[in-house]
Amino acid sequence: MTHRLGLAARTIVPGQAAGTEEILVHGVAAVCDPLGGLYLPESGTLVVSDLHLEKGAAFARRGMMLPPYDTIATLNILAAVISRYDPKVVVSLGDNFHDRKGSQYLPADLRAMIGSMARGRDWIWINGNHDPDGTTDLPGVCTDEFVHAGLVFRHEPSLISSQDRARGEIAGHLHPSATVRRRAKYVRRPCFATDGTRLLMPAFGVLAGGLDLNHKAMHGIFDRTALVAHLLGRDRIYSVRYDSLLG
Amino acid sequence: MDLVEPQSSGRDAVLLPRPFLKWFAEKGWQPRAHQLELLARSTSGENMLLIAPTGAGKTLAGFLPSLTDLTRRGKIPPGSAFTGIHTLYISPLKALAVDIERNLMKPVSEMGLAVTIENRTGDTPQAKRRRQKLTPPDILLTTPEQVALLLANKEAERFFRDLKYVVLDELHSLVTSKRGHLLSLGLARLRKHAPHMQTIGLSATVADPSDLQRWLVPQGSKEGEEPAPEAGLVHVQGGAAPEITILDTDKRIPWSGHVSTYAIPEVYEEIKRHKTTLIFVNTRFQAELLFQELWTINDDNLPIALHHGSLDVGQRRKVEAAMADNRLRAVVATSTLDLGLDWGDVDLVVHVGAPKGASRLAQRIGRSNHRMDEPSKAILVPANRFEVMECQAALDANYLGAQDTPPVGEGALDVLAQHILGMACAEPFDPLGLYDEITSASPYADLSWDMFERAVDFVATGGYALRSYERYAKIRKTQEGRWRVSNPQVAQQYRLNLGTIVEAAELNVRLVKRNTKGTVGRGGMSLGKVEEYFLEQLVQGDTFLFAGKVLRFEGIRENECLVSNAFSMDPKIPAYAGGKFPLTTYLADQVRAMLADPHRWQALPDQVRDWLEIQRERSMLPRKDELLIETFPRGQRFFMVAYCFEGRLAHQTLGMLLTRRMERAGARPLGFVATDYSLAVWALNDIGGMIDDGRLSLSDLFDEDMLGDDLEAWLDESYMLKRTFRNCAVISGLIERRHPGKEKTGRQVTVSTDLIYDVLRSHEPDHILLEATRRDAASGLLDIGRLGDMLARIKGHITHRDLDHVSPLAVPIMLEIGRESVPGEAQDAVLAEAADELIAEAMG
């Protein structure tokens, strides 16, 4: 993840889209960005998921003094993607804050930073399991579910058995990551995961971590024969079919 | 006339109370000189260090001052005021504390002494612990962690105020680790509660006794204060010289690798010839493999067992009990058996693989023949040709009595943070007072006030420049300027997370049945624990060796790794893992000296001697303080091999740094591999040619300045640094191992320390925890200290040989290159083929 921290520190030229991967989800064109955002060019929508802002502070409240820099680091990356695409709509797919108190106790400078990012665009906060009550004193709308641009945005993915719900669903929650094995070397990275019908977003927060696509929590989400992992690389997206992850 | 008589009626009678004299006489023994000397000097108030070989009656010696004092004191009449413990015995191993209780109770009850002895370890039931606090025994046998726990208690002062003696067993192994740092801080606190308490250190071999002698006493911490005189020393020279041989074999000694499978039949014959054999190996993988191989040829069904730290506790205890009862013929063991446990009648120690250090060898050989006057018997089984030299060097060292225990080292900052929190849990502390106390502990004698304040700040709020956690502070300053814990949960958290041993994230391995549908059931026997990183490379169906069985990996369910019986003899995933311990500086020196001196080759087996002879013809052998660099082409690549002999860790660091520099110089390096003895780098461009025509300068390449910017740049991405950081984060209390109410496994850590590391590095690179990490890495995983020493030593002493093809000395490391990534069975044949070609080329 060091590269994401480093990348955000560099100046991002607006409109530049190096190393991205263009895909279709339920017929809607989408761009997977190596910084972890999904951009829908037709509707000018930027999607990010699982920011887990104030995770450090959430732990500090329980006596573990994690570095208080995770929120600023995550927001720096978010600012970078926003300036890259200048979206009309930003959708944050839930677990926006790591706990219920997160947005309430958010330091003023960080609150202002979100404010300036949201200026001139619509901002949708999807409620997640970590922050089911929505955000406090922040611009934007809080909702459990958002239907927009031919897709449906919710935090937790529906099971594949409920076909209709799953179709065109963009969800987060599971923090997908994938492991690629070649010549006995293993590389594990967060990824966008999609079977063409629906898509799972990688976690955007710098302290969020990942869960392997093989984990049992991922069972019953995808048609695995069509599943592709778009891994976040240093400067680009690497797209690997699920079947050939391990070589 | 009885010769013993005059001695025992003289000096002994003064020192030893009647029951002791009677007991010695009844046994037909007499107290040994060192036991009496230790007793006399302790009784007169000296702190003492006893260095003695195994079997010298060290334990009894250590307890004599305390037992005699307690005997003179007599039984405390019922109804007397509270009396705290009299003697604290601290050992690095739980099992040792239990073992000592048994060994000590015997003479105590035979003498009829009114002395109460109890142990207290992590396994002691709650009820007994509570009772111990109300009615302490005279002698408490325990571990460093328990001492820290007791000291963090509100009643510590009451419990320890009557303390007279602290006996520290296996001191040599305690002091060099973070546990030793924690213990040194504990001692400083004990001295505060009981200013007149005395220390008695018991130790096996050490390089520098004065390190330990200083460790045992308070350092002068306040300005102008004189340090206490270092502890007195009683040094018992070794008993009968051990009979150590290197396995004499007509089989071909392998060129590389770490498992001595070639020698299995010969080892088995030795087991048959002896009553009980202890077989030591360096890693768990070696233990597993050897155990399996032995059972394949165990036609006589000899009881041979396996013992290593990852096995289930229940299984380990069974092996230990069987061992004590002499029901086993052999045990294959790792360092879990290293320390001074008393094991039945072992009459042979076999050491498979090189011991990596002369002191470790001495310690392990001491397991055999636990009586000082009989020689112990040991056979060394080197796994490859360099190890033959290493074994020979260790063997020479043992006869010379040379020792190479690592130095005590500077006190770690993460341990300091843990201790500070513990002290706040005991009672609100005055920072100046605590600073003086801490700097009286020898590892922390040089701790600056500034660093101490940063550590306190770290404990309180994480110590970040961005001060956003003030409201969540774990400890707060009172109006009187004392630091106290903010709430009782903090103390509870401390107790749950105390300790300095951080295990790699491990999963429990559970044996389950695979049914016909291919799904697996629940339940089944727990086999032990295996590191998470090892499991990460497995896919369902892969087979591997564990707990002496070939197992089939079925998957991970919650916190458990599910496996089934593989019904196969050949595990698919190779268990190659190099030695856990790097070659010690001392042995490395000896191996270099042996290489340089053909006279010393006489002691080596013919095949090894031939190998060196041919090397001398084809290339050269470096002088003792010279660094030989060979370059040669092979396949489509150009190789450079540096024979540094500084241990794998230092070589790995060197490899990372060298390849960066070679990259800049345009040599286009592709990779490197490091062993304990040498480092090989391969590149697309002709390294040898570049050196010859001056495009690449070896003296620049190996210049000490690589430890500056290159090191910094590399550390940014180093995986090893992240692992070190994880340990520091856990020990310092930044990350909890266990949270109140969720007291389960190491996997409770719900946030990745790698991610924390990245965030912290990019926002506050000089944070105290990163400082702690860098210090640890310098001496630990990266071995930067040793690398620095080597670079200084070889300056102006680099010799380059540009060869047409691979040299004999290079063969072992060239074989390691293929080995790093060879899963599967068929590849072994390929590997053997490739290996034979390579050898033919070098020797032909």
Is residue B580, in this structure, part of any structural domain at all?
Answer: no
- The CA distance from B353 to the nearest CA of chain A, in Å, is 26
- Percent of chain A residues past pLDDT 70, beyond the cut: 88
Domain boundary (B779, B804, B830) is at B779
Is pTM beyond 0.95? Reply is no
| Interchain proximity B752–A2, CB inside 8 Å | no
What's the token pair of residue A216? 């049992």
Residue A162 has pLDDT above 70, yes or no: no
For an interface test with A, which of B497, B573, B718, B755 has the most A Cβ atoms less than 10 Å from its Cβ? B755
Sort out which chain B residues have CB atoms less than 8 A from A62's CB and list them.
Answer: 739
pLDDT of residue B802: 94
- The CA distance from B375 to the nearest CA of chain A, in Å, is 48
Sort out which chain A residues have CB atoms less than 8 A from B764's CB and list them.
Answer: 67, 69
What is the spatial distance between Cα A88 and Cα A121, in angstroms, rounded to a whole number?
5
Sort out which chain B residues have CB atoms less than 8 A from A107's CB and list them.
Answer: 468
Identify the CA nearest to B117 among candidates B54, B67, B59: B67
pLDDT of residue A143: 96
What is the spatial distance between Cα B326 and Cα B345, in angstroms, rounded to a whole number?
7
| Interchain proximity A70–B759, CB inside 8 Å | yes
Per the structure, the count of domains in chain A is 1
| Interchain proximity A66–B734, CB inside 8 Å | yes
Q: Identify the closest residue of chain A to B716 by CA–CA distance.
A: A2
Asked if residue B348 and residue B273 are part of one domain, the reply reads: yes
- The CA distance from A63 to the nearest CA of chain B, in Å, is 6
Asked if residue B497 and residue B510 are part of one domain, the reply reads: no
Shortest CB distance from B758 goes to which of A1, A68, A184?
A: A1
Per the structure, the count of domains in chain B is 6
Sort out which chain B residues have CB atoms less than 8 A from A208's CB and list them.
Answer: 755
pLDDT of residue B786: 83
Asked if residue B179 and residue B76 are part of one domain, the reply reads: yes
Give me the DSSP letters along A40-99: ETTTTEEEE----BTHHHHHHHTT----TTHHHHHHHHHHHHHHHH--SEEEE-S--BSS
Shortest CB distance from A68 goes to which of B469, B557, B735?
A: B469
Side chain identity, residue B297: I
pLDDT of residue B574: 46
Shortest CB distance from B466 goes to which of A6, A69, A216?
A: A69
What is the spatial distance between Cα B460 and Cα B644, in angstroms, rounded to a whole number?
45
| Interchain proximity B489–A63, CB inside 8 Å | yes
| Interchain proximity B462–A69, CB inside 8 Å | no
Are the C-beta atoms of residues B312 and B506 closer than 8 Å to each other?
A: no
Shortest CB distance from A67 goes to which of B557, B756, B823?
A: B756
pLDDT of residue B829: 36
Sort out which chain B residues have CB atoms less than 8 A from A60's CB and list them.
Answer: 461-462, 469, 472
B207 touches chain A (CB under 8 A): no
B764 touches chain A (CB under 8 A): yes
Shortest CB distance from A68 goes to which of B464, B739, B755?
A: B464
Asked if residue B516 and residue B461 are part of one domain, the reply reads: no
What is the spatial distance between Cα A173 and Cα B753, in angstroms, rounded to a whole number?
20
Sort out which chain A residues have CB atoms less than 8 A from B754's CB and list them.
Answer: 1
A107 touches chain B (CB under 8 A): yes
pLDDT of residue B534: 66
Asked if residue B520 and residue B493 are part of one domain, the reply reads: no
More confident residue, A57 or B674: A57
Asked if residue B728 and residue B772 are part of one domain, the reply reads: yes
3-state secondary structure of B399: helix
Interface of B with A in 527-546 (CB under 8 A): 536-537, 539
- The CA distance from B58 to the nearest CA of chain A, in Å, is 44
Task: List pLDDT tens digits, range A106-155.
Answer: 999 999 999 999 999 999 999 999 999 999 999 999 999 999 999 999 99
What's the token pair of residue B548? 């002496």
The dihedral region occupied by B347, where left means phi > 0, alpha psi between -120 and 50, and beta the remainder, is alpha
Sort out which chain B residues have CB atoms less than 8 A from A2's CB and list them.
Answer: 716-717, 758, 761-762
Is residue B406, in this structure, part of any structural domain at all?
Answer: no
Q: Identify the closest residue of chain B to A2 by CA–CA distance.
A: B758
Is residue B346, in this structure, part of any structural domain at all?
Answer: yes
Q: Identify the closest residue of chain A to B730 by CA–CA distance.
A: A64
pLDDT of residue B348: 87
B502: how many CB neighbours lie within 10 A of its CB? 18
Q: Identify the closest residue of chain B to A62 by CA–CA distance.
A: B472
3-state secondary structure of B213: helix
Q: How many CB pairs under 8 A join A and B?
A: 97
CA angle B589, B591, B594 (to 5 degrees): 110
Q: Which regions of B9-110 does DSSP assign to beta strands (E)? A: 48-51, 87-90
A69 touches chain B (CB under 8 A): yes
Asked if residue B271 and residue B146 are part of one domain, the reply reads: no
| Interchain proximity B756–A207, CB inside 8 Å | yes
**Residues in Cβ contact with B1 at an 8 Å cutoff, skipping those fewer than 6 apart:** none
Sort out which chain A residues have CB atoms less than 8 A from B461's CB and list them.
Answer: 60, 65
Is residue B178, in this structure, part of any structural domain at all?
Answer: yes
| Interchain proximity A207–B752, CB inside 8 Å | yes
Is residue B587, in this structure, part of any structural domain at all?
Answer: no
Identify the CA nearest to B400 among candidates B207, B204, B605: B207
More confident residue, A244 or A167: A167
Q: What number of CA atoms fall less than 13 Å from residue B176's CA on the CB side?
A: 14
Sort out which chain A residues have CB atoms less than 8 A from B756's CB and list them.
Answer: 66-67, 207
Sort out which chain A residues have CB atoms less than 8 A from B539's CB and list them.
Answer: 246
Interface of B with A in 669-728 (CB under 8 A): 716-717
Shortest CB distance from A206 goes to which of B536, B759, B822?
A: B759
Asked if residue B639 and residue B541 are part of one domain, the reply reads: no
| Structural domain boundaries, residue B254 | 243-400
pLDDT of residue B311: 77
Is residue B586, in this structure, part of any structural domain at all?
Answer: no
Is residue B588, in this structure, part of any structural domain at all?
Answer: no
**Residues in Cβ contact with B825 at an 8 Å cutoff, skipping those fewer than 6 apart:** B570, B572
Is residue B115, in this structure, part of any structural domain at all?
Answer: yes
| Interchain proximity A63–B758, CB inside 8 Å | no
Asked if residue B839 and residue B734 are part of one domain, the reply reads: no
| Interchain proximity B472–A60, CB inside 8 Å | yes
**Residues in Cβ contact with A241 at an 8 Å cutoff, skipping those fewer than 6 apart:** A227, A228, A229
A54 touches chain B (CB under 8 A): no
- Output the domain CATH number for residue A62: 3.60.21
The dihedral region occupied by A123, where left means phi > 0, alpha psi between -120 and 50, and beta the remainder, is beta
Sort out which chain A residues have CB atoms less than 8 A from B821's CB and list them.
Answer: 183-185
Task: List pLDDT tens digits, range A198-227.
Answer: 999 999 999 998 898 988 888 889 998 999
Asked if residue B544 and residue B493 are part of one domain, the reply reads: no
| Structural domain boundaries, residue A66 | 2-12+20-244
Shortest CB distance from A67 goes to which of B474, B557, B760?
A: B760
Asked if residue B175 and residue B83 are part of one domain, the reply reads: yes
A108 touches chain B (CB under 8 A): no
Shortest CB distance from A209 goes to which of B734, B755, B820?
A: B755
Q: Identify the closest residue of chain A to B770 by CA–CA distance.
A: A67
Sort out which chain A residues have CB atoms less than 8 A from B496's CB and list them.
Answer: none
| Interchain proximity B557–A216, CB inside 8 Å | yes
Mean pLDDT of all residues belonging to chain B: 82
pLDDT of residue B222: 63
Q: Identify the closest residue of chain A to B824 by CA–CA distance.
A: A184
A216 touches chain B (CB under 8 A): yes
B823 touches chain A (CB under 8 A): yes
Segment-wise mean pLDDT, segments of 10 residues, chain B, 844 residues: 38 78 88 92 95 77 94 85 93 77 87 92 87 93 94 95 95 86 96 96 82 91 72 82 80 74 88 89 80 88 85 78 84 68 74 75 65 72 86 73 68 96 96 96 95 97 93 94 94 87 70 71 74 65 74 75 77 47 76 90 88 91 92 90 88 84 86 86 91 91 84 68 85 81 45 88 92 82 80 91 92 72 32 51 64
How large is the C-alpha radius of gyration of chain A? Answer: 17
pLDDT of residue B747: 38
What is the spatial distance between Cα B460 and Cα B474, in angstroms, rounded to a whole number?
5
Asked if residue B271 and residue B348 are part of one domain, the reply reads: yes
- The dihedrals phi and psi of B524, each to the nearest 5 degrees, come to 95, 170
- The dihedrals phi and psi of B174, each to the nearest 5 degrees, come to -75, -45
What is the spatial distance between Cα A62 and Cα B657, in angstroms, rounded to a whole number?
41
Sort out which chain A residues have CB atoms less than 8 A from B557's CB and list them.
Answer: 216
Task: List pLDDT tens digits, range B79-124.
Answer: 888 899 999 999 887 767 777 887 888 889 999 999 999 999 877 8
For an interface test with B, which of A64, A70, A187 has the most B Cβ atoms less than 10 Å from its Cβ? A64
